[in-house]
Amino acid sequence: MKELIEYMVTALVDHPKQVNVSERTTEDGIVYELSVAKEDLGKVIGRQGRVIRAIRTVVRATAWKEKQRVWVKIV
């Protein structure tokens, strides 16, 4: 899952080496914390949050197949 998020985000940003995804397990599920360069933050969020919403949808659909609960947060 972590690799999927990194793959999608690095394709969007101008500074792909600064993309960092960390994984944290909670009692409710898995939280993926995404950090990017300050200049790329707008590209990851998109207009009215459409891009990050699409990323979250793909990740949740993939996790649903594996019977997991996941969240993607931008740090």
* CATH number where 11 lies: 3.30.300.20
CA–CA separation, 34 and 49 (whole Å): 15
pLDDT in tens, 21-70: 999 999 999 999 999 999 999 999 999 999 999 999 999 999 999 899 99
CA–CA separation, 69 and 75 (whole Å): 19
Q: What is the pLDDT of residue 39?
A: 95
Mode of pairing for the β-strands spanning 30-35 and 20-25: antiparallel
> Model pTM greater than 0.75?
yes
Q: What domain range is 25 assigned to?
A: 2-74
Q: What is the pLDDT of residue 27?
A: 93
Q: In the β-sheet with 20-25, what is the strand arrangement from edge to edge?
A: 20-25, 30-35, 70-74
CA–CA separation, 20 and 74 (whole Å): 10
Domain tally, the chain? 1
As a whole number, mean pLDDT of residues 4-18 equals 96
Q: What is the pLDDT of residue 21?
A: 97
Token match 């979250």: residue?
A: 56
